[in-house]
């Protein structure tokens, strides 16, 4: 949370629209912010060699043309929201891995889960909670989950389950990822969901190919957590 209550506070993160393909143009949104108006926004584009290692590539503005130097990397945008009371930074999720040419057949830059073979594995690449921190048991939590394979390619058609541990929220029915490797759930905290500053609730997220044994095949899982604030 910003130190000054009137400073910009992010309520939804920036997003990148477009194909991560050399020569294509990516467009960034500002995200959604609250705070003293007016709020101004500036953009810095970053190249990422992993989900945690990103550096500014020198580009600014809300659009970016994918360069040949980006092949094999992912692109992320950093948005600085600024008003009279302060400034706050927001970060988008990284794009899919940049390729030199587009993929085929309507799946964008993702691969179908059916194409995975022995030795391949599904990876829970990112899990984003909104709101975060959670401050009320009456407000649903939106969870955005992105699935890749162990070769860093987005995967479509992978089923994803999420359950709180211990169970303190509703548990959605598993659904498949879309053409961007993403599935979004809305889960409802139960009355025993603990709202306490400095506390967090864990969730187990699993990605799998429908019809395969629970502990076999290409499945992959990850423990994640969301903070609470009372």
Cβ atoms within 10 Å, residue 40: 11
pTM: 0.58
pLDDT of residue 209: 94
Which pLDDT tens digit goes with each residue over 136-192? 999 899 999 999 999 888 999 999 999 999 999 999 999 999 888 889 899 999 999
pLDDT band at 96 (very low <50, low <70, confident <90, very high): confident
pLDDT of residue 49: 83
DSSP result, 179-227? TTSEEEEEE-B-TTS---TTEEEEEEEEEE-TTS-TTSTT-EEEEEEEE
What six digits make up the tokens of 39? 């709020």
What six digits make up the tokens of 202? 């864990």
Question: What is the architecture of the domain spanning 111-228?
Answer: Sandwich (2.60)
Which pLDDT tens digit goes with each residue over 99-142? 876 543 333 468 999 999 988 999 999 999 989 899 999 989 99
Q: Do domains 9-91 and 111-228 have the same CATH topology?
A: yes
Give me the residue spans of the domains in the chain: 9-91, 111-228
CATH code of 9-91, in short, is 2.60.40.2700
Q: With DSSP H G I counted as helix, E B as strand and the rest as coil, what are the percentages for the chain, rounded to 5?
A: 5, 50, 50
pLDDT of residue 51: 63
pLDDT, greater one: 22 or 170: 170
Tell me what the mean pLDDT of segment 192-206 comes to: 93
What six digits make up the tokens of 204? 């187990």
């Amino acid at each position: 949370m910003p130190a000054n209550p009137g400073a910009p506070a992010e309520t939804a993160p920036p997003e990148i629209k477009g194909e991560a393909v050399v020569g294509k143009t990516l467009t960034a949104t500002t995200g959604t912010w609250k705070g003293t108006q007016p709020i101004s926004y500036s953009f810095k584009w970053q190249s990422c060699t992993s989900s945690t290692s990103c550096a500014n590539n020198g580009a600014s503005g809300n659009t970016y043309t994918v360069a040949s130097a980006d092949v094999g990397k992912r692109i992320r945008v950093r948005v600085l929201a600024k008003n009279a009371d302060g400034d706050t930074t927001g970060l988008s999720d990284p794009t899919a891995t940049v390729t030199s040419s587009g993929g085929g057949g309507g799946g964008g830059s993702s691969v179908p889960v059916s194409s995975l073979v022995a030795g391949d594995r599904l990876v829970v690449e990112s899990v984003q909670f909104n709101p975060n921190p959670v401050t009320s048991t009456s407000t649903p939590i939106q969870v955005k989950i992105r699935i890749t394979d162990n070769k860093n390619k987005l995967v479509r058609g992978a089923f994803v389950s999420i359950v709180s541990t211990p169970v303190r929220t509703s548990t959605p029915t598993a659904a498949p990822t879309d053409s961007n490797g993403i599935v979004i759930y809305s889960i409802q905290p139960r009355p025993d969901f603990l709202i306490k500053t400095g506390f967090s609730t864990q969730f187990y997220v699993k990605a799998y190919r429908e019809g395969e044994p629970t502990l076999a095949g290409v499945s992959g899982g990850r423990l994640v957590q969301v903070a609470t604030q009372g």
